[in-house]
Amino acid sequence: MPKRFRLTRRLNIAMTEDGYRRLKSFSKEAGLDEGEALSFLFENFNSVTNEENLIHRLRLFNAELEDRKR
């Protein structure tokens, strides 16, 4: 029997415009709302990411973070 899908946590998040546009696009393509899309991504994080790409992208993001905050 499938697990019941309940959104039990609500959080206020800050996102970049690019990140938010990508989330909206992904959720629309998947037929989900933004909360459901985020839940899907994090529940299936290891299977939807490539570890090598993730590490590389994270390094790039962290290297640019301070400049992007200004």
* Tens digits of residue pLDDT in 12-24: 889 999 999 999 9
- pLDDT for 47-65, tens place per residue? 999 999 999 999 999 999 8
pLDDT of amino acid 2: 64
Q: Please report whether residue 46 resides in a domain.
A: yes
Domain count of the fold of the chain: 1
Q: Please report whether residue 65 resides in a domain.
A: yes
Q: Please report whether residue 12 resides in a domain.
A: no
Q: Please report whether residue 9 resides in a domain.
A: no
Q: Please report whether residue 59 resides in a domain.
A: yes
d(CA 18, CA 20): 5
pLDDT of amino acid 6: 77
Q: Give me the chain's average pLDDT, please.
A: 89
Structure-token pair, residue 20: 């938010």
d(CA 45, CA 50): 10
Q: Please report whether residue 37 resides in a domain.
A: yes
Q: Which domain holds residue 48?
A: 17-69
